[in-house]
Structure 1
Amino acid sequence: MMTPRKNLSSLSGRSLIVLGILGLWWCITSSHLVSSVLLPAPTDVWIAMLNLFRFGYNGTPFWQHYLLTLTRVGVAVSSAIIVGIPLGLFSSYNTTIGSLIDPIIQFLRPIPPLAYYTLLILWLGIGEASKVLLLFLSALPPIYLAAYDAVSGINIEYRNNAASLGANYWQIFLRVIFPASLPAIMTGVRSAVGMAYTTIVSAEMIASTSGIGWMVIDASHYLKTDVMIVDIVVMGITGMLLDWFLKQFSHHFIQWQGRG
């Protein structure tokens, strides 16, 4: 566990890095080494951000684009959690179920999600259904594999001790297997959120008329580099906050994580 002094030192180091990047950025733009079309000045990006937050983009408030992207990710990841965790746990705990489910997940896992996005568009159109299904398919394998491997890594003595005390099949699963798997499952959920988040931006760039990803590709058509940079910064900060939230959730609700 990090001490307050270490936390302060880490925060100071990150602040210096950010200030260094901003300083280098300002020096490059102020000396006109790069065209302002390719790299606008920090002040221009700041003004673009204020205008986006105040007036929106192409007549739509910025927060609507932002929340729509997060909603797509949230619905897909939540569905992947509901489906992937039970499938992974039961597939590892029961060899019969595993022989049916595992080959399907192993087939989907190495395929880049965008490879079959065009098929989903042909089948479901460019609406929300194709995007949410794409994100679901991208988030499912990491969660499934984390749950599957978690069960395989549980000390067999835990099961034997529970059985010797009279626990039946389902009691062992609910009171031993599931709690012991949660730390590894949360790692899989973090990976799934990152996978879905990067996929939705790419999906919005390909076939969409709304969302943060669509804003980036639309701004690029009109050389609105300042808008593109604002969107990229917002996406980066949002991704960091999502991962931080998941870490805090795991720390507070899975308190036995890391303990023998």
Structure 2
Amino acid sequence: MNQQKMHTRLERALTVGTWLIILLVWVLATQAEGLSSHILPSPQEVWSAFIQILNEGYNRISLWQHLGDSFRRLFGSLFLAVLTAIPLGLLSGFFPKFRAIIDSIVQFYRPIPPLAYYALLILWMGIEDGSKITLLFLAAFAPIYIACVSAVSSINRDYILSAQSLGASQKDVFLKIILPAAMPDIFTGVRTASGFAYTTLVAAEMTAATSGIGWMVIDASRYLKSDVMFVGIILMGLTGIAMDGMFILLERKFIFWKGKE
């Protein structure tokens, strides 16, 4: 137990040390002669920009509204993706004929860059949040669906056959064997999907948007406000880490049998 605590402390120290080195390199790089702050703002300039945005907002919109609008789009799309991808993925993994219908559609659009069809979504659904949430939904759907199919396919078939031989119905097999066995992979798929959706957020907010943390970064880039861009990027990274940590905590609480035979 003590050895495990030592390893944990060492890992934390390495993490903190890594970021201190990155910060030091950043400070030293900004002190180089001839390097414009438009190219690489100093940490002090980024902090000042953050305090200004925190107090005054950006483009007369508060920072909390920017974050709120982005997370409303992000979590709305994730909710829809979880609601649809999990049942479709589980059914596709369990019924090969069902997979023959759904899988080819998912595999067709999955490698297409989101910006390639975003213009079409705007034409079909308008410039409001509908097209943005749909774009994020499509980015999140595929990882969850694939994780569910893979989870069901990797389940030991002896468990299913044993249950069926003892008289278990398909409903019992699904609820008591397939779903619990697939839940760890499903959570991993949701974590991956949240990352994909977050990286697509900037693309979703770059067209016909007036708020959102992704829009703030895009708007600042048009006017070479690199300090504001750094603020937005750092906020996205920190909130992304917090969101992933939330999923890890939920997984530890509700998927407590993960890794146990």
TM-score range, shorter chain: over 0.9
Residue deviations 1:87-133 (CA, integer Å, cap 9, x gap): 01111212232222122112122222221100001111111000001
Q: Which residue of 2 aligns with 1:39?
A: 40
**Which amino acid in structure 1 is aligned with residue 260 of structure 2?**
R
Q: Percent of aligned positions with the same letter in both sequences? A: 47
The two structures, once aligned, show a CA RMSD in angstroms of 1.5
Matches for 1:69-84 after TM superposition, within 5 Å: 69-84=70-85
Q: Aligned equivalents of 1:206 and 1:128: distance in 2? A: 11
Q: Which residue of 2 aligns with 1:26?
A: 27
1:257 aligns with 2:258: yes
Q: Which residue of 1 aligns with 2:156?
A: 155
CA-CA distance at 1:33 after TM superposition: 4.4
Normalised by the size of structure 2, how large is the TM-score? 0.95
**Which amino acid in structure 2 is aligned with residue 200 of structure 1?**
L
Residue deviations 1:53-104 (CA, integer Å, cap 9, x gap): 1111011101100111111110101110110000011112122322221221
Q: Aligned equivalents of 1:208 and 1:30: distance in 2? A: 36
Q: Aligned equivalents of 2:92 and 2:16: distance in 1? A: 46
Q: Aligned equivalents of 2:232 and 2:169: distance in 1? A: 53
CA-CA distance at 1:165 after TM superposition: 2.2
Residue deviations 1:180-219 (CA, integer Å, cap 9, x gap): 1111111111111011110012221234221111111111
Q: Which residue of 2 aligns with 1:85?
A: 86
Matches for 1:19-168 after TM superposition, within 5 Å: 19-168=20-169
Gaps of 5+ in 1: none
1:175 aligns with 2:186: no
SS in 2 for 1:255: coil
8 Å contact kept, 2:77–2:134: yes
8 Å contact kept, 2:147–2:188: yes
SS in 2 for 1:3: helix
Q: Aligned equivalents of 1:22 and 1:92: distance in 2? A: 46
Residue deviations 1:120-173 (CA, integer Å, cap 9, x gap): 011111110000011111111111111111111000111122112221111111
8 Å contact kept, 2:202–2:218: no
**Which amino acid in structure 2 is aligned with residue 127 of structure 1?**
E
Residue deviations 1:8-32 (CA, integer Å, cap 9, x gap): 2112112112221221222222343
Q: Aligned equivalents of 1:11 and 1:206: distance in 2? A: 40
SS in 2 for 1:206: coil
